[in-house]
Amino acid sequence: QQQVKQSPQSLIVQKGGISIINCAYENTAFDYFPWYQQFPGKGPALLIAIRPDVSEKKEGRFTISFNKSAKQFSLHIMDSQPGDSATYFCAARGGGGNKLTFGTGTQLKVEL
């Protein structure tokens, strides 16, 4: 019930391409869905977040698409750049307090 499933585990994209990472959840009590970006040796940093009453949110090259009925959400990175190479985590908030349940992470590599 608390799990958030994330795919793919790793992704290689050419510079300028679109990176797509998908997540699915079961718990309908989740009320907030952030994406975090993590570089090696650093803590996760918030990239973009969405609430379940919105189907899409865009910030610069980053877009979250949210499908409430399917309980799925995805991150699209347009015009992917080598500097985007990092590990991306989806997360969902709920289930007591303000805790985040994280997906297993996607290691993105953007090649020149």
Partner 1 sequence: DSGVTQTPKHLITATGQRVTLRCSPRSGDLSVYWYQQSLDQGLQFLIQYYNGEERAKGNILERFSAQQFPDLHSELNLSSLELGDSALYFCASSPLTGLADTQYFGPGTRLTVL
Where do contacts with partner 1 occur on this chain (CB under 8 A)?
Answer: 31-32, 34, 36, 41-46, 49, 51, 89, 93, 96-105
- Measured from the CB atom, is 17 or 52 closer to partner 1? 52
Residue closer to partner 1, measured from CB, 80 or 106: 106
Min dist. Cβ of residue 68 to partner 1 (A): 17
The b/e string for 80-98 (b: 16+ C-beta within 10 A; e otherwise) is: beeebbbbbbbbbbbeeee
Nearer to partner 1, 96 or 112 (CB): 96
Residues ≥6 apart with Cβ < 8 Å to 68 = 52, 55
Return the number of the residue (14 or 55) whose C-beta is nearest partner 1: 55
What is the closest distance, in whole angstroms, from the C-beta atom of residue 17 to partner 1 in the complex? 26
Which residues, at least 6 apart from 9, have a Cβ–Cβ distance to it below 8 Å?
A: 104, 105, 106, 107
In this structure, how many other beta carbons lie within 10 angstroms of the beta carbon of residue 100? 19
| Nearest distance in Å: CB 35, partner 1 | 12
Distance CA 43, CA 79 (A): 24
Q: How far is the CB of 79 from partner 1 (least distance, A)?
A: 25
